[in-house]
Homo-oligomer: A and B are copies of this chain.
Amino acid sequence: MNTTAAIIGGGVIGGGWAARFLLNGWNVQVFDPDPEAERKIGEVLDNARRAMPRLYDGSLPAEGALSFHSTIADAVADVAWIQESVPERLDLKHSTYREILADAPLDALIGSSTSGFKPSELQDGLDRPASIMVAHPFNPVYLLPLVELVPFARNADTGIERAKDILRSIGMAPLHVRKEIDAHIADRFLEAVWREALWLIRDDVATTQEIDDAIRYGFGLRWAQMGLFETCRVAGGEDGMKHFIAQFGPCLQWPWTRLTDVPELTDELVDKIADQSDAQSGALSIRELERLRDDNLVGLLRALKDRDSAAGALLNAHEKQLIAPLPDPDQKISAPLRLWEATVLPAWIDYNGHMTEYRYLHVFGDTTDALLRLIGADREYVAGGHSYYNVESHIMHLDEAKLGERLMTTTQVLSSDEKRIHLFHTIYASGDRAVATAEQMLLHVNSKKSRACPALPQVQSAIEAITAAHAGLLRPQSAGRYTGQRRSA
């Protein structure tokens, strides 16, 4: 599969697209006439590298190659996806598309980041209009999954489905907008809120700070997870949505909003907003605010991910696509086994700045799972109603593992019988520094009856072979230790 994308137009949005593609393993070819483009995209990329990996429990793919090109022709050669994020002027977008279409592969898809234009307007008068559709993202593009995908009648279904596949493969949630309208869907809501907010400020009802608090301490917390209708469904209670609308509908006729008119953006009003915003957030630079925003988004998204809910369910699905390393089944079984590797991820770091204690057991558990796959006690075996349960672990912490360090584990089988496996794992950081050990006892069970039972013959013989191969190894010093036992001299 071709995994090279062209980014036409850098800036905050183009840079965010570049970061999302790169960190998902795509190569990215940028065209932007701004002499500052490389610096600006680099800054967005720094933010993305800092935040995005913290959303996942495993490692992201190796980062793709980033290159800058002085012509559109160069940037779009041999790419599968072209993302256009040039300023919101239709004439400029049309001339950009003409240049793109002259040199891009015939099957390349072109997504436009436009907030307002309809795809029929973008396609108007061009040679291969079916290549072009709206792919409207939300800032920061590398963290927020939503992308509004708006095709027009000329777009073939196959192109739309291919676009969805590509966008999903980089962790986004394409929302297929079936009828083109100005501003698509989400921005219509944002516009409505903006207009109302401008009136409130002009009329001195509220300041920028007060409006922000009214959102983030109230309905903003609801909308991060349920949106509008599901929230109302809950509010309506057992009487259901019809009842809710019947009760709530009439209020819509009341004079609660002034959304018809837009207040004139006089110098005075602009100054007022800018001054209030300075008072609210001026103590922090934009970079600091960006990082605060990203830290919070990572936290919010991870909270939803733990619950497999809303945007968190999208993340879990994306993570399953990303991660797969299996041990090599042919490796020698005589030495302590080398079954698992991992990297200390940002989400594994605690308030001390070290790897949190339970993440050591996370790595030990992944190592045990790799051993079980090696002896044939894999997912299929588990689905058949048999499994090994860990009944006991003794963990010793010997040294600290640090952010970004590569971890490797070794596994020694101390003993086994038809029902039990007695294991000793060691985690090494950066190659040779032992940071923790775990002694574990696994018990084979019939999981349907929740009762211990002998392993199936092929699994028994696989673990017996390893146990026999390990019989001559030196017994680890801390095997058989109890917690708090003094170390022998």
Q: Is the beta-carbon distance between A306 and B219 smaller than 8 angstroms? A: no
Contact A480 B480 (CB under 8 A): no
List residues of chain B with CB within 8 A of the CB of A281: 230, 233
Q: Is A365 an interface residue (CB 8 A)?
A: yes
Answer whether residue A252 sits at the interface, using C-beta atoms and an 8 A cutoff: yes
A-B pairs, top 7 by smallest CB distance, nearest first, are: A212-B227, A299-B303, A220-B223, A146-B218, A259-B259, A224-B224, A146-B217
A205 within 8 A of B: yes
What are the interface flags for A195-234 relative to B under an 8 Å C-beta threshold, 1 for contact and 0 otherwise? 1111010011110111111111111111111111111011
A290 to B477, CA, bound (A): 52
Q: Is the CB of A220 within 8 A of B217?
A: no
Contact B297 A300 (CB under 8 A): no
A205 to B189, Cβ gap below 8 A? no
State whether A238 and B286 are in contact (beta carbons under 8 Å apart), knowing that A303-B299, A345-B306 are contacts in the complex: yes
On whether A274 and B241 interact (CB within 8 A), knowing A211-B228, A227-B216, A357-B393, the answer reads yes
Does B304 contact A299, Cβ atoms closer than 8 Å? Answer: yes
Are A227 and B220 CB-contacts (below 8 A) given A193-B189, A205-B178?
Answer: yes
A347 within 8 A of B: yes
Asked if B286 contacts A251 (CB within 8 A), the reply is no
Among A68-76, A77-85, A92-100, A307-315, the one that faces the other chain is A307-315
Contact at A273–B245, with CB atoms within 8 Å? yes
Interface 9-residue window, one of A58-66, A330-338, A394-402: A394-402
Most chain B Cβ neighbours within 10 Å, of A177, A246, A293, A354:
A293
Q: Out of B219, B227, B260, B395, which one reaches A138, CB within 8 Å?
A: B219
Q: Is A316 an interface residue, CB under 8 A from the partner?
A: yes
Interface residues on A, range: 35 or more
Q: Which of B173, B182, B248, B302 contacts A217 (CB 8 A)?
A: B173
Identify 8 new A-B residue pairs, CB closer than 8 A, beyond the known A208-B228, A212-B226, A231-B293: A189-B219, A197-B228, A223-B224, A230-B280, A233-B289, A391-B396, A393-B394, A441-B483
Q: Inside 8 A of A193's CB, which chain B residues have their CB?
A: 189, 192-193, 228
Shortest beta-carbon distance from A291 to chain B in Å: 10
Partner of A214, one of B146, B252, B290, B356: B146
A249 to B280: give the CA distance in the assembly, Å. Answer: 21
Whether the Cβ atoms of A148 and B214 lie closer than 8 Å is yes
Asked whether any CB of chain B lies closer than 8 Å to the CB of A468, the reply is no
Asked if A217 and B175 sit within 8 Å, CB to CB, the answer is yes
- A–B pairs, 19, beta carbons within 8 Å: A145-B217, A178-B205, A178-B206, A182-B255, A211-B228, A212-B230, A213-B227, A215-B228, A222-B297, A225-B297, A245-B273, A249-B265, A257-B259, A295-B309, A299-B303, A358-B362, A358-B365, A360-B361, A439-B483
Name the CB-closest residue of B to A308. B346
In the assembled complex, the Cα of A325 lies from the Cα of B466 at a distance in Å of: 47
CB distance from A405 to the nearest CB of B (A): 15
On whether A191 and B223 interact (CB within 8 A), knowing A197-B228, A230-B280, A390-B397, the answer reads no
Instruction: Tell me the bound Cα distance from A200 to B187 in angstroms.
Output: 12
Q: Is the CB of A188 within 8 A of B196?
A: yes
Across the interface, do B394 and A483 meet the contact criterion of CB distance under 8 Å? Answer: yes
Q: Which residues of B contact A382 (CB under 8 A)?
A: 351-352
Q: How far is the CB of A285 from chain B (nearest CB, A)?
A: 8
- Residue A395 contacts which of B144, B226, B359, B393 (CB distance < 8 angstroms)? B393
